[in-house]
Amino acid sequence: LGTFAADVKAVSDDTISVDGKLIKIVSSRDPLSLPWKEMGIDIVIEGTGVFIDEAGAGKHITAGAKKVLITAPGKGPNIPTYVVGVNADQYKSTDTIVSNASCTTNCLAPFAKVLDEKFGIIKGTMTTTHSYTGDQRLLDASHRDLRRARAAALNIVPTSTGAAKAVALVLPKLKGKLNGIALRVPTPNVSVVDLVIQVEKKTFAEEVNAALREAANGPMKGVLAVCDEPLVSVDFKCSDVSSTIDASLTMVMGDDMVKVVAWYDNEWGYSQRVVDLAHIMAKE
């Protein structure tokens, strides 16, 4: 993205200025010691990837924040998961700690919802070809996952993902119907989901794309998009939507096996949904 187009200055040890706006900087490994109460903080965006259960994220509440938004899959039954465009309209003001799910779930869930509503998903598998992340090793080194231990920029790394199963957290009808894996590849950003499903209603590729276009131009506008151009991953850098269907890759085998491919910016695009969900939480 290049350099940040703003005038950023350090004003003091705990304050920076961004185009004249003063922003206080606080830092602590323990959320309990953060000054959320005295600062009047309404929502904490918990993006460390560490405090993702009720006990950990709850420390922000104890410290004085009113609500916590976790930018990862939450752990435990008491943390509801919301995906904008899928079930975020069900958010309740009593939900003080919520999860925005993963970037891959945010890509998969919107078009899985459309496919299930239009054709009925019986079962399916998903593969996300995913840009490498900070959880991998730059050079071969130690890691609890021996594949993630291998050099991220030199290998295609098969690994696990809970994204497909997590769809059931926002679409309960799909519980037990989807599973998947991830292939981490040597690109720094932008990923692509490949979903193959068996459906109840007989269909064909053009009908599948038509259903996705209808949703993209209607209730899921701004979350789902459909692309007809022969693009590659870098073309989706800084895409604001959660998933962009690659219409030319949609296939139907027989009349009940459907393949849909969707691109997503797993960094920028996901961040847009974090902001969207924070706005929804702030209104309640």
What are the catalytic residues? 103
What CATH number corresponds to the domain at position 79?
Answer: 3.40.50.720
Contact by Cβ (8 Å): 237, 102: no
Please give the span between the terminal C-alpha atoms of the chain, in angstroms, as a whole number.
Answer: 34
Domain annotation covers residue 3: no
Find out whether 266 is annotated in a ligand binding site: yes
Domain that holds residue 204: 103-267
CA distances from 190 to 45, 83, 111, 142, 266 (A): 22, 19, 18, 26, 6
The answer to whether residues 114 and 85 belong to one domain is no
The answer to whether residues 175 and 48 belong to one domain is no
User: Number of structural domains, the chain?
Assistant: 2
Find out whether 103 is annotated in a ligand binding site: yes
In the numeric block, which tokens belong to residue 243? 């998933």
Q: 47 has which bridge partners? A: none
Domain annotation covers residue 149: yes
The answer to whether residues 158 and 248 belong to one domain is yes
Find out whether 128 is annotated in a ligand binding site: no
The answer to whether residues 37 and 117 belong to one domain is no
Find out whether 162 is annotated in a ligand binding site: yes
The answer to whether residues 16 and 143 belong to one domain is no
Which pLDDT value is given to residue 1? Answer: 76
Q: 129 has which bridge partners? A: 183, 192
The answer to whether residues 47 and 164 belong to one domain is no
Find out whether 133 is annotated in a ligand binding site: yes
The answer to whether residues 111 and 245 belong to one domain is yes
Find out whether 71 is annotated in a ligand binding site: yes
Find out whether 184 is annotated in a ligand binding site: yes
Instruction: Show Cβ contacts of residue 49 under 8 Å, excluding neighbours closer than 6 positions.
Output: 71, 72
d(CA 183, CA 191): 10
Burial 140-155 (b: 16+ CB within 10 A, else e): eeeeeeeebbbebeee
The answer to whether residues 188 and 251 belong to one domain is yes
Which pLDDT value is given to residue 2? Answer: 85
Quick one: average pLDDT of 32-41?
Answer: 97
Find out whether 161 is annotated in a ligand binding site: yes
The answer to whether residues 119 and 85 belong to one domain is no
Q: What is the mean pLDDT of the chain?
A: 97
Which pLDDT value is given to residue 128? Answer: 98
In the numeric block, which tokens belong to residue 116? 């299930």
126-152 residue pLDDT tens: 999 999 999 999 999 999 999 999 999
250-271 residue pLDDT tens: 999 999 999 999 999 999 999 9
Q: Of 15, 246, 9, whose CA–CA distance to 111 is shortest?
A: 246
Quick one: average pLDDT of 220-247?
Answer: 98
The answer to whether residues 80 and 127 belong to one domain is no
Contact by Cβ (8 Å): 233, 265: no
Q: What phi and psi values does residue 180 have, to the nearest 5 degrees?
A: -175, 175
| pTM to 2 decimal places | 0.95
The answer to whether residues 60 and 125 belong to one domain is no
The answer to whether residues 118 and 242 belong to one domain is yes
Amino acid (one-letter) located at 80? P
What CATH number corresponds to the domain at position 124?
Answer: 3.30.360.10
Quick one: average pLDDT of 66-83?
Answer: 96
